[in-house]
Amino acid sequence: MARTTRYTAEDISVLDGLAAVRKRPGMYIGGTDVRGYHHLLWEIVDNAVDEHIGGHATTIEVWLEASGNRVTVRDNGRGIPVDEHPTQKRSALEVVLTTLHAGGKFERNGAYVTSGGLHGVGLSVVNALSSELEVRVRRDGKEYLQEYRRGRPKGPPVEVGPARGSGTTVSFTPDPEVFDDLAFDAQLIRERLEVRTWLHKGLKIIFKDRGAETSDVLEHPGGVADYLSAVVAKDEATAVSEPFVLSRDELPSFELALCWTDAQREKMLSHVNGIPTPDGGTHEQGLRDAVTKAVRAYAETHNLVPRGLALTAEDVREGLTAILSTYVEEPQFQGQTKGRLNSPEARSALDATVRPALEQWLHHNPSQGQAIVARTVLAGRARIAARDASAAITRRSPTSGRRLNLPGKLSDCQETDSGESELFIVEGDSAGGSAKQARNRKTQAVLPLRGKVLNAEQATLKKVLENEELNNIALALGCGIGPDVRVDRLRYGRIILLMDADSDGHHISTLLLTFFYRYMRALLEEGRIFLAMPPLFRVDIGKATFWALDERDRDRILREHPRARAEITRFKGLGEMPPKMLFETTLDPARRRLMKVDLSDAESAARVMDELMGKDPRTRYDFIMEHAAEARDLDI
């Protein structure tokens, strides 16, 4: 159909009220995936926490219904005003629920001094994206109720009876028209709520999971110091220093607890006005600046660094575990989901306050200071050893031409433009042989692996580089490894993990993703890693052939042809597929299905990697026991 060149005032659309939210939900909650789904709950919880920050609420209750898709948040704060708004001429409660950028957190001298929600869209967005929402307000000895359907009120707020105390209760069901068939994760909710109680002394949160018939009272009067101890214990790390705890009262205020451990990586959990900031920001930059300067100054004063070793900022912070809770009067967040703080004053305030206090603490506690510097020196020496090993990889990687010093099993492609080429990392020599025959030799390269690779979550960079399979991957990609990764030197535009569609294949994919996450993370952040989706079943119905990814896909195909006779073939592995069939189903860019690995939710990714691939086997045991009933096939 020909495109029209007509463009007049009639082509300009105006979305009234909350229609814009339903039209483009990703602009307000980051997406309609599991992360966006839970973000609705965080918005309501954050409003309740803001009441606590302001000194008006002490208790928050969260109830997850047995259905898993409806949740209630109740606080004992002041309660949203229900009287008539002076300019809108309707209840202030309805204004807040139906109008973007309406709230009590905009004015400097308004109802809130510091809060997590300054955009004024949280409650209205939740309302817009919920199939049902009910809000109850307790104020002035009375209780009021207002109900909504997909953002539209069923009527004005009504008085339903007398009430003791004050506060707000919000119950909502995310709209399945927006979020498909999703449900709330009770474990994730409990973890996030417990973090709130660590960050806010005196706050009690009661979480009830009615599906599991459990009720938890979460309360931590020790604050961020207790949080730090819990994080170190969960990571099964050994502390090499005592905790350093510091707070500042004037805005921007903060609470800080940090220590050094024997872990190989830095871990910083930061929050702004009670909101987690997994993407960091200026407050984290200020803390990093302060820690680096303080430890370097102490080491130089006492001449603790060996001659010839220059400590980098990464050396100083290796093994650092820090909990930072910052309060900013008018925080500038990057995006509505508030994943990163951009307020410049936070960086200077953290640096100016933490640096002299930490340096003084080191001088007054020489045993702690010497242990920290020794840990830092050890990191510096390990960095140099890893750099030399990585340099050997880089020297052997091709700098010009595509066939110089490549792994012996790699079948390279002819294309020299990385943007036009892709590398398939294949499980086993048998599948690798089929893929080599099936591929387009001009643009597709194949690297077969032998067996399951090393778990990089539990290995140092030096140990990773000593592993032949992972070493071959690094050589083939040619972009460096560890801190030296350069995406601009990547030899292939896409790296595709091609594994069997069974439990072993999924495990190998997980191991490879762990390797990329820990030692080539930039490739994930740039969206260069993909999972191939080979079919597990071939379904022949008459003269038509269908390819099913798994049992659910197979059953869908059979339901769509209820009266037809179907012949079903299950593939035990990719090596069983003839090359032509493998190309048609899995390698052909015009017909294949690829899953792009997304790292947008860095906080969840870190949690999953730590729980499923880390040193603590108890988290894997708990995961297996929790999901055992969902398993349909066991590969024993």
Instruction: Answer whether 21's CB lies under 8 Å from 177's CB.
Output: no
Quick check: is 601 catalytic?
no
CB atoms within 10 A of CB 608: 18
Catalytic residue among 504, 550, 553, 616: 504
Q: Show Cβ contacts of residue 527 under 8 Å, excluding neighbours closer than 6 positions.
A: 596, 597, 598
The token pair that represents 342 in the structure block: 């951009």
Q: Give phi and psi for 573, each to the nearest 5.
A: -170, 165
Residue 124's identity, in one-letter code, is S
Q: Any idea what DSSP says for residue 583?
A: I
- What SS3 state is found at 325? strand
- What SS3 state is found at 143? strand
Quick check: is 500 catalytic?
yes
Instruction: Answer whether 290's CB lies under 8 Å from 345's CB.
Output: no
Quick check: is 502 catalytic?
yes
Ranges of beta strands (E only) in 204-243 are 204-209, 214-218
* H helices present in 216-343, as ranges: 224-234, 282-301, 313-317
Q: What is the 3-state secondary structure (H, E, C) of 280-303?
A: CEHHHHHHHHHHHHHHHHHHHHCC
Instruction: Answer whether 40's CB lies under 8 Å from 130's CB.
Output: yes
Catalytic residue among 33, 314, 502, 550: 502
Quick check: is 610 catalytic?
no
Residue 320's identity, in one-letter code, is L
Q: Give phi and psi for 525, each to the nearest 5.
A: -65, -30
| Cα separations in angstroms, 620 against 8, 117, 231, 438 | 60, 35, 17, 38
Catalytic residue among 43, 351, 500, 601: 500
CA 410 to chain CA centroid, nearest Å: 33
Q: Report which secondary-structure segment, H or E, holds 254.
A: strand 253-260
Distance in angstroms (rounded) separating the CA atoms of residues 495 and 477: 9
Nearest to 354 by CA among 217, 245, 447: 245
Going 28 to 30 to 35 to 37, the CA torsion angle's sign is: positive
Residues in the chain: 636
Catalytic residue among 255, 427, 469, 601: 427
Distance in angstroms (rounded) separating the CA atoms of residues 453 and 469: 7
The catalytic residues are 427, 500, 502, 504
